[in-house]
């Protein structure tokens, strides 16, 4: 990990007031990627070439008017190549920076493929207070009309705005502010790829740099509840997707592979097939904790008291991949289904 003060900002000279200090944690991704030419909007991933954070900041002298930037450069890794242990190391770095009283806010650049998952882990680990903002880009740094530079400037604006404090981890792309708990990537390629769930975005960073919030974030028991340095190695948790005619083979395979938990991504409001249900019952009988989620894009899987008594929890409105992360961390603390359900409820 490389930590350096950046020339992109500073406390000013003469009678200029000191600028807020923002820690910029860089992990690579599309925002740092180099394409073959300016029209390479899709093939750049195969090149696996990324710019260092210093090169990105050198092209953004505008940041000098917003904040003093302290760069923290982690290894550049495509986000779809990250494991849970890798993501937790990133989260631990950001959490430690957010705890530094000299830091006004933390900005994390991340590949968009799994951005929502790392942002969600950050929300589980960072107590509300110092703003933590995750951003990325849908177009590589070398492309025509690259979106990364303005995303980065707006993320720093958001991280330094007093109204961002206490809202949990925020995600900023395409001028739009989302809650990390609710945001999902919903398009493979469009600039407006990220959506904020049923409640929509929290707000926007306007063209003049003003941060405007339209509604707040609800309290949630799991927000900031986990210290990534204390969870050790989370147990294996697998996701099993339901589909027409699915049998229980994938559930049985997850159990055989050593899963301590299974997230069932059921149909509709959270319904696996009868054969999957039977396999999930076998898993629970064998000591595996099952979380019932839904494969659809929105809506809530409601708590089911009878299932809770049998050792099964429901995901609420968390999508399956976020439910997997919360279940994995929760299982490092307890196997009590009722206690785990309280972490899912909001």
Which residues does the annotation mark as catalytic? 30
Residue 24's contacts (CB-CB under 8 Å, 6 or more residues apart) are 6, 53, 57, 69, 70, 71, 72, 107, 109, 156
Helix (H, G, I), strand (E, B) or coil at 252: helix
What token pair was written down for 242? 């339901």
DSSP string, 63-90: GGGT-EEEEEE-----GGG--HHHHHHH
Return the structure tokens found at 299: 């809506």
Q: State the angle between helix axes of 320-330 and 337-344 in degrees (0 to 180), rounded to the nearest 10.
A: 130
Question: Measured between alpha carbons, how far is 10 from 6 in angstroms, rounded to an integer?
Answer: 8
> Do 269 and 294 contact (CB within 8 A), yes or no?
yes
Reduced to 3 DSSP states, what percent helix, strand and coil does the chain have, rounded to the nearest 5? 30, 20, 50
């Amino acid at each position: 990990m490389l930590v350096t003060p950046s020339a992109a900002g500073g406390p000013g000279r003469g009678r200029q007031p000191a600028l807020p200090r923002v820690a910029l944690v860089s992990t690579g991704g599309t925002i740092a990627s180099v394409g073959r030419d300016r029209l390479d909007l899709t093939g750049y991933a195969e090149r696996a070439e990324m710019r260092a954070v210093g090169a990105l900041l050198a092209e953004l002298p505008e940041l000098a008017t917003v904040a003093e930037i302290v760069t923290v450069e982690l290894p550049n890794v495509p986000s779809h190549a990250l494991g849970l242990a890798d993501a937790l190391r990133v989260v631990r770095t950001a959490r430690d920076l957010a705890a530094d009283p000299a830091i006004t806010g933390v900005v994390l650049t991340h590949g968009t493929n799994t951005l929502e998952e790392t942002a969600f882990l950050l929300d589980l680990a960072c107590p509300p207070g110092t703003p933590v903002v995750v951003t990325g880009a849908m177009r590589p740094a070398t492309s025509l009309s690259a979106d990364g530079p303005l995303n980065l400037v707006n993320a720093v604006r958001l991280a330094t705005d007093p109204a961002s404090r206490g809202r949990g981890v925020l995600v900023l792309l395409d001028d739009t502010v989302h809650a990390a708990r609710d945001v999902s990537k919903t398009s493979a390629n469009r600039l407006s790829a990220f959506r904020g769930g049923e409640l929509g975005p929290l707000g926007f960073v306007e063209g003049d740099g003003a941060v405007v919030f339209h509604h707040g974030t609800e309290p949630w028991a799991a927000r900031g509840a986990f210290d990534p340095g204390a969870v050790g190695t989370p147990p294996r948790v697998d996701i099993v997707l339901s589909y027409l005619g699915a049998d229980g083979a994938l559930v049985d395979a997850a159990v055989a592979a050593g899963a301590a938990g299974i997230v069932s991504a059921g149909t509709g409001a959270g319904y696996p097939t009868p054969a999957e249900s039977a396999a999930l019952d076998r898993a629970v009988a064998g000591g595996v904790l099952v979380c019932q989620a839904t494969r659809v894009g929105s809506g809530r899987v409601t708590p089911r008291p009878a299932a809770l008594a049998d050792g099964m929890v429901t995901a609420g409105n968390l999508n399956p991949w976020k439910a997997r992360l919360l279940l994995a961390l929760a299982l490092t603390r307890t196997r009590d289904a009722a206690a785990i359900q309280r972490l899912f409820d909001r």
